[in-house]
Structure 1
Amino acid sequence: MTIKLFSYLKFISGICLASLLIAGCGGGNKISSEKHKYLLIINGEKGSRDEDRMLWFDSLDSSLVLHTNQASMINNKLGSTVILNHNFLLSMDKKSGLFSKYQYAEDGLKSGGELKLEEFEYISFTTKLDSTLLYIGGRGHKNISSYAIIDQEKMLLVRKGRLDLPVAAEQNASDNFGMLKNNHLYVGYSSFGEDYDHCSDTSYLAVLDYPALKLKSVDKDVRSAFPGSGVNGMFNFFADTKEDLYVLTSPVFYHGNHPTASTAFYRISNGKGEFDKEYFFDLSKQLNGRHLLGITQAAAGKVILATISFPSTGKSDYYVADVYKKTIKLLLKNQNQPNFVWGTSGYYDGENASFIVNESQGKARMYVYDGNKDILRSGPAIEGNISSKSSYLILNPSKKDFD
């Protein structure tokens, strides 16, 4: 899902707020969701659910300090996948196969139901089909791709199955991104061997009729590989004002396994069911062969990206790319490599893009990029029980336009 968040709000009780966030106002009471509009969800340590927290806050000002001792513990509730909505989130635990719903509350997450999703050990992407129905693409036993359609309000399974997507001999399809557009489901995918070896060098784009989900067409492209990230919550693509889709490829991230291909943007023109053969934005070529991950959309035609080394060095540079001008500009250099327990720690509100960078043990910093002015500034500091491997999600629950 493309998360469009944030509108700047006033400070509420400014002096008390500052002390509340740093040291606790009036004896360390939890920050109220009724007073503070932004929500930060923290995974304290990659691979662990023992230190998960959520914290309400009110401003993107650089003087603000968000401390984990003012956060509510939500440990052992969220699984490997988190899907954000304006008044609730969904999470899947791959060990139990349970898909759970939680409402945001003042002091944590309140259970809103659950359902069993068999044959799903991993979710690649989700996309809304209407105000209640959610399409889930993922994989299960032996990495076989499947899909499910659920009613996310009632937490009911509506339909499940497997898409009939053509791939190379002795390979399985791996769906990487998807969206419903003009009564058709667009699915970008790659293919792999059973154990995620022998990565295909081909990018596929399937167009299916909806709601029948019958295959209408398939396009292929070999200018890059692994269209989309294949990881729910990671930045995959965006649609511009003309409804053209710009899709980021991921040759090395996760199981891309294709380091000789360039990280790039494809374009799918509005009303077309194929990769635009006249458009190709080769990001790696401009960075001497380096690869990148998507963080968030940043403005009209702009995207925040972070470099990813192969093999990993643990360090990343942050860039902003302009898909119209095919330019890329350095924002931050030699930062800790971002972690993605639930997806990217970035968001876009229609004016500003924000993302979080881990600085050192116990410290992180939010950055805010104004795409119209092309200015990056420091946002709130995050301190406490976090590490260089912490991950984050941020949202404004009052915003309802998440797709």
Structure 2
Amino acid sequence: MIHRYRGVVHFALLIFCAITLLTGCRKTSPEEKETPARKYSIYAMMKNGKEYILQADSLASGEINPERAGARVVPAPLYYDLIVRDGRYYSVDRRTGSFVRYKVANGEFVRDTAIALKGISSLENYNWLTRDSLMIMGYDDKARAVGYAKIRVSDLTVSQGTMPIPAPFGGYNWLSIGFSQFLDNKLYIGYCYHTYALNNYTTGDTIYTAVLEYPQLKTLKILKDTRSVYPGGVNTRQSHSFVTENGDFYFIACPGIASGNYPEKPTGIFRIRHSKEEIDSDYFFNISASPIQNHGYGFWYVGNGKAIVRTERKGLYTGMKDHYKVPHFDFYLLDLEKQTTSRLPLPLDKGTVRQCVLVEDGIAHITVSSGNEGCYVWQFNPATGSLKKGLKLSDDTEYILRLERLNE
């Protein structure tokens, strides 16, 4: 049975269950033939609880059965902390403190190779520095510091260090990294502090953003804002921020019970103007005060000043004990400049955190795990408003947990 996770690692109250990452897959032997990568990767959970990674070349139509077409993930789950690139899959193994590369070979999801990490047992944010170079970061409780690792994924060589993010202070005993973004040769790190106890936590009332000189990682300034809390979220799980065509950076703050757990604060969208190095004090898109009237989490850019946000609907769930399994999520199209909202006429979705929107060639592919109405990849054209069903996953599918391109 999937259950709620209130871990002290991220404080993102997750959709399904406490994470035990994939470490038991066997090594790939030299005679194994690797499966050629296709265009898209889909991670699905079936009604029997089994999980599969499958690959497809089209999302526009057809039907696919994950059990028949996919590679089973054993042991599971791996759907939170997964990075997909160039036909490969990567994650941090929390139990061993190692960075692991996976692949699909001979119809199985297999562990390819791994490298040890120091001080990074949790993965909160990542950025690709080059095609072959990945930067990951997360809070290290033992060192009371934000650690990072730069990894060359072709041969898994690594260099590590810490970032000058102030440690928890006063009554706070944890820190969450909510976004990391390179802008104008600077690295912006959004974070917040928590006070946690067994099975519960609270988030401080301030969003912090450190502006770091890069690559020196020297602090230039620290920005503060109290209009909402918990900036962004773990970006392996879903998108919470983006940069628009004109270089403006937007991020969502998530104080709802499934993330910041400070529901008195509104879900809000913030902006940092191109080359300004300040959070725009004149801009705050208050989602909770808009016609949405609820908290939201995932946030995806679809182009031309428009974005999609995934929001709770109050009254359809009773608390975190059924938050992941009850269809109650809506998708809204936002006009970021006009601060207007328009609900997409999709079935109610379920699953607290999902990598469920992929934008490509002007089309937003939106996965919906609706319960009674099935699991589909919907095709939404924000320019025309056209919305139609695309690829269907077989009726024994419970959740579409992840959708992403295999090759960026």
Q: TM-score, normalised by structure 2?
A: 0.79
**Counterpart residue number, 1:174:** 176
SS at match of 2:82: strand
Corresponding residue of 2:269:
265
CA RMSD after TM alignment:
2.8
What do residues 209-258 of structure 1 show as CA deviations (whole Å, max 9, x unaligned)? 11121111011111111111245332111101111101111111544011
2:382 corresponds in structure 1 to 371
Residue 237 (structure 1) aligned to one of 217, 238, 241: 241
Q: Distance in 2 between matches of 1:198 and 1:210?
A: 32
Match 2:358 to one of 327, 347, 371: 347
Distance 1:141 1:117 in 2: 15
**Separation in structure 2 between the aligned mates of residue 116 and residue 77 of structure 1, nearest angstrom:** 21
Deviations 1:67-92 (A, max 9, x none): 12222223227634101113312122
Q: Is the 8 A contact 1:362 1:383 kept in 2?
A: no
Q: 1:256-305: CA deviations, max 9, x gaps?
A: 01101111110001112221011111111113631112153223222222
What is the SS of the residue equivalent to 1:336?
coil
Report the equivalent of 2:117: 117
Are the structure 2 counterparts of residues 95 and 264 from structure 1 closer, same or farther at C-alpha, using a change threshold of 3 Å?
A: same
Q: Which moved more, 1:100-109 or 1:86-95?
A: 100-109
Deviates more, 1:209-218 or 1:98-107: 98-107
* 1:24 match: none
- Partner residue in 2 for 1:21: none
Q: Deviations over 1:8-41 (max 9, x none)?
A: xxxxxxxxxxxxxxxxxxxxxxxx747x533322
Alignment partner, residue 159 of structure 2:
158
* Structure-2 separation of matches of 1:303 and 1:145: 33
- The SS at the match of 1:332 is coil
Match of 1:324 among 311, 316, 337: 337
Query: Relative to structure 1, is the Cα distance of residues 375 and 362 closer, same or farther in structure 2, using a 3 angstrom cutoff?
Result: closer
Who is 1:93 aligned against? 93
CA contact (8 A) 2:241 2:299 kept: no
Contact 1:192 1:199 in 2 (8 A): yes
Residue 84 of structure 1 corresponds to: 84
Q: Compared with structure 1, are the counterparts of its residues 283 and 167 closer, same or farther at alpha carbon in structure 2 (3 Å cutoff)?
A: same
Q: Within 5 Å, which residues of 2 pair with 1:284-303?
A: 284-287=288-291, 289-303=293-307
Are the aligned partners of 1:52 and 1:76 in contact in 2 as well (CA < 8 Å)? no
Distance 2:362 2:142 in 1: 43
- Structure 1 pair 103/395, CA: closer, same or farther in 2 (3 Å)? same
Question: Of residues 65, 68, 72 in structure 2, which corresponds to 1:67?
Answer: 65
- CA distance in structure 2 between the aligned counterparts of 1:143 and 1:338, rounded to whole angstroms: 33
Q: 1:147 to 1:153 in 2, by over 3 A?
A: farther
Q: Does 1:392 align with 2:390?
A: no
Aligned equivalents of 2:395, 2:36: Cα separation in 1: 21
Contact 2:120 2:148 in 1 (8 A): no
Rounded to whole Å, the distance in 2 between the matches of 1:309 and 1:351 is 28
> How many residues get paired?
359
Task: Quote the residue 2:55 is aligned against.
Answer: 56
**Which letter maps to 1:327?**
T
Q: How far 1:383 moved relative to its partner?
A: 1.0
Contact 1:356-1:367 within 8 A present in 2 as well: yes
Could you list the per-position Cα deviations for residues 289-326 of structure 1 after superposition, in whole angstroms to 9, with x for gaps in the alignment? 31112153223222222222573552122211121221
Aligned-residue offset at 1:162? 4.4
How far apart are residue 366 of structure 1 and its match? Answer: 1.1
The 3 A distance-change label for structure 1 pair 186 and 382 is: same
- The amino acid that maps onto 2:177 is D
The amino acid across from 1:125 in the alignment is N
Distance 1:361 1:334, change over 3 A: closer
Aligned residue type for 1:395: E
Give the SS at the match of 2:355.
coil
The correspondence for 2:282, drawn from 278, 286, 289, is: 278
Paired position in structure 2 for 1:192:
194
| CA shift for structure 1 position 95 | 2.4
Amino acid at match of 1:337: K
* Aligned-pair identity (%): 21
Q: Tell me the TM-score normalised to structure 1 length.
A: 0.80
Contact map agreement 1:53 1:72 (CA 8 A) in 2:
yes
Letter in structure 2 aligned against 1:160: G
User: Residue 275 and residue 126 in structure 1: after superposition, are their counterparts in 2 closer, same or farther (change >3 A)?
Assistant: same
Gapped regions of structure 1 (runs ≥ 5)? 1-31
- 3-state SS of 2:137 partner: strand
